[in-house]
Amino acid sequence: MWNLEGESVKATYLGDIPVSGKVTLSRVKYGGGVSHHVRLDHEIKDLCVYRAAGDTVIVDHKDVEQVFS
């Protein structure tokens, strides 16, 4: 199933940053891939990336590791 809207997920952002949150939008990208907009449960603090809890990040479908209903 590619449409994960409303589901909670664990995924990786930018290849190696673990994120978790609720999917607010799932869309088919130009060329056939799928991406998900994830509203973050917790803030991200990395060397080059900072996102507050409640911010939204976009992850590829292939980077979703776990889906919670």
Which amino acid is located at 52 in the chain? A
- Does residue 3 lie in a domain region? no
pLDDT digits (tens, 9 = 90+) for 36-57: 999 999 999 988 899 999 999 9
33 three-state secondary structure? coil
Which amino acid is located at 50 in the chain? Y
Find the domain containing 56 and state its range: 8-68
- Does residue 2 lie in a domain region? no
Global pTM reads 0.92
Confidence of residue 5 (pLDDT cuts 50, 70, 90): very high
- For residues 26 and 50, give the distance between their C-alpha atoms in angstroms, rounded to a whole number: 23
pLDDT, residue 22, reads 98
pLDDT digits (tens, 9 = 90+) for 56-67: 999 999 999 999
Tell me what the pLDDT averaged over the chain comes to.
Answer: 95
- Does residue 50 lie in a domain region? yes
